[in-house]
Amino acid sequence: MESITDYMQQDHDLIDGIAERAAAAAAAGDLAGMERDGALFLQRLERHIEMEENLLFPAFEERTGMTAAGPSVQMRAEHEQMQGILQQMRDAIAAKDAAGWQRASQALLEVLVPHNLKEEQMMYPMLDDAMGPDAGALLAEVKEMAA
């Protein structure tokens, strides 16, 4: 059976690939590619964050009682930290500013890479464990939201 960890890590990998295409387009001065892949990257990352904040983290907190502190609280704080950078990326797309996209992308990577590692190595496995036999039902909800 597919775990929450497996599914969410695959989503990270997919989103990372889109980010790489957008960065390559920006570096090459391909503004249409930057706009296309950059917009897709932002859409997919924001949906990923919504799945976590609306489904996964609340389920984890309900099961563990960790609501004031713990991994989900830290992950939410890091999501909040990303919001300003994501806005810079949206602004760079709107302005067709490849250099601005590259600067914002680099700033985001400095937060996102360690964030994703913490999710993959700690948050998601803890969530799978906490959910036990109910993990499959939660994963089905996540997949429905992703569709």
Domain count, the chain: 1
Q: What is the 3-state secondary structure (H, E, C) of 79-136?
A: HHHHHHHHHHHHHHHHHCCHHHHHHHHHHHHHHHHHHHHHHHHHHHHHHHHHHHHHHH
Q: How high is the pLDDT of residue 147? A: 81
Residue 121 domain boundaries: 4-146
Question: Structure pTM?
Answer: 0.92
pLDDT tens per residue, range 43-102: 999 999 999 999 999 999 999 887 888 899 999 999 999 999 999 999 999 999 999 999
> Among 5-14, 30-39, 63-72, 137-146, where is mean pLDDT lowest?
63-72
- The CATH code of the domain that includes 94 is 1.20.120
> Which token pair is 126?
């803890």
The pLDDT confidence band at residue 145, using thresholds 50, 70 and 90, is confident
